[in-house]
Each structure stands twice: as C-alpha cells, then as structure tokens.
Amino acid sequence: MKLATWNVNSVRARKERLLRWLEKHRPDVLCLQEIKGSEEDFPRAETTALGYYTAIFGQKGWNGVAILSLTEPQAVERGFGDGTDDGQARLVSADVGGVRVASAYVPNGQSVGSDKWSFKLAWLKRLRAWLDRRSPAEPLAVCGDFNVAPDERDVKHPALWERSVLFHPEARQGLQHVMDWGLQDVFRRHHQEGGLYSWWDYRMLAFPKNDGLRIDLVLATAPLAERSTAASIDRDERKGVQPSDHAPVLTEFDLGRPLSGSGAPGTGGSHAAST
DNA sequence: ATGGCCAATTTTATTGGA
C-alpha cells in the first residue's frame, strides 16, 4: 500500500498539480491538508475521474483536510468526535484497506505565548486523547502537517528555530506525547540523515538554500510501521510554477506480509490456498 | 539547478501561514 501525505496550501490553487501528481504516483491513499475551502470547492469530479474516493472535512477559507483513496473509505469521522468541535477542520479519519488513516493539520501556533500557541499545544493533547480511545495494537496511521519538527536533524538551523513555534521544546514535547501513545515516524525507519525536509518558506530563497524543516510526517502504530518498506519526500514537487510550500511525503507498506505476533485468524493470508 | 512570498477573504487591504 502506498500511503502519502501532502499539505497542498489550497486545493484550488494546486488543482492541476494535484491531479498530475495523482496520475504519476497513484498512491492508494493520499492525505491532504490545508485544502483551504469547503467541500464544494474540492475538485471531486476530477479526482473521481482518476479513480479516487474522497473523504473531505472542509472549511471556508482556512484549514480543511481530506483523504483520497482507491478503495472506498469506511467509518469516516470528521474532527475529534468528542464534542469539542471548534469549527476548525483539522482532522478527518477513515478505515481504508484495513488501516485506520487520519489526515491531520496541527495548528501552526503563530508565535510562542500567543492564544494560537496555546491552542496548538491543546490541540496536540486532544489528538493524544483521540488516540487514547483507540489501540496501538491496531494498524493505524496519523499523516499530516504536524507543524513540529521532531528533532535537530529535521531543521536546517536548530538553534534559530528553537524559539519558533515549529521547533520550540514545548511543541516538540507535545508531539512526543502524541508519539508516546505508540506511533513511529515511518520516514525515520528508512532514513537517518539530516537535511531532508518537507517544508520550505516561500520567502528568502529558502528552497534553493534548502533552508527547510521536516514537519510533514507519517506516524504509524507498530503493526503497520513494521511493514513499511520505503519512505521518501517528493522534493521535486516543490519546484516549478506555483508549488505548495510543502512537498508530499510518500510511504509504502507490505500489508501482505504476515505480522509477527499477530494471532488474528483469516488475515495475513496464512491460510490462503493461493501460493 | 529549484530563485528575493502566497492564498484566502475580510478583496485593491488584511489576515494567517510556517
């Protein structure tokens, strides 16, 4: 299964790029963030024509997340589903191909100490609470723009960014708390070096200088992460005319391989007659 | 090479992003 995530920074502005990217990579699942529009603004006819189902949680003007998939998403949930709806479309989840997939757009936080900063830290706690209602023994992936770089390798200038909302110790702690539930950074299972980023500021020649951060992540529970076979960042998608400021992140999983320690009958193909 | 912000609405300024 190919599972990807991409903050498109407006699906209307990125429509042609999105469609070309889907044609080229054909992921089984693509999580989108910052579609910046309501469900009616989404180019559903075009993505449907490419064979994709859509689970959209839109919002006029801001935020907005979606899951595109080649098989029909089941049990779609918009938001945290815990009665704390705040009018911000930042989380959508669904069962796709036996995996619970979430597309998350963590608040930016604007500036340390601001109301938005408090909202960001609180949102990460709500995400942890949402996870607490599930089990890390299940195949689950939270994909998206976390607006937090996990560690020093993920930031070009860590000392400079430490005071910013994207790499502040408190934000990193918030992300760690989410991961401590039982999520692994799939990209880091396949790449250990620094300098590999997923976001570059539009300003100050950040991209040509590779002055970026890795804030777009695919986090997976152990049963899923252990089946990952590859991960990459499509840096080329940041180039050219009218790019998003984020690059897509691609991961791949071999779901056919039996899971060690799994006692679930009828799954994994261990009893299948086919060779 | 990849290039000195971008995209939305509240629209000819302002807001938020990251």
Q: Provide the pLDDT for residue A257.
A: 66
What is the pLDDT at residue A84?
77
The answer to whether A212 and A196 are in contact (CB under 8 A) is no
Mean pLDDT of all residues in chain A?
A: 92
- CA-atom Rg of chain A in angstroms: 18
Percent of chain A residues past pLDDT 70, beyond the cut:
93
Residue A9 pLDDT > 70: yes
Marked catalytic residue, from A28, A41, A95, A145:
A145
Contact A181, A131 (CB under 8 A): yes
Q: Which amino acid is at A261?
A: G
Which pLDDT tens digit goes with each residue over A77-99?
999 998 877 889 999 999 999 99
- Which residue's CA is nearest to the C1' of nucleotide B1? A208
Give me the CA A187–C1' B15 separation in Å, rounded: 34
Q: What pLDDT is stored for residue A86 in this prediction?
A: 86
A195 touches strand B (CB under 7 A): no
Tokens 């992460």 — which residue? A225
For residue range A12-36, what is the model confidence (pLDDT) as tens digits?
999 999 999 999 999 999 999 999 9
Segment A43-67, tens digit of pLDDT: 999 999 999 999 999 999 999 999 9
Query: Catalytic residue at A145?
Result: yes
Fold of A2-262: Deoxyribonuclease I; Chain A (3.60.10)
Q: Distance (Å) from CA A92 to C1' B1?
A: 38
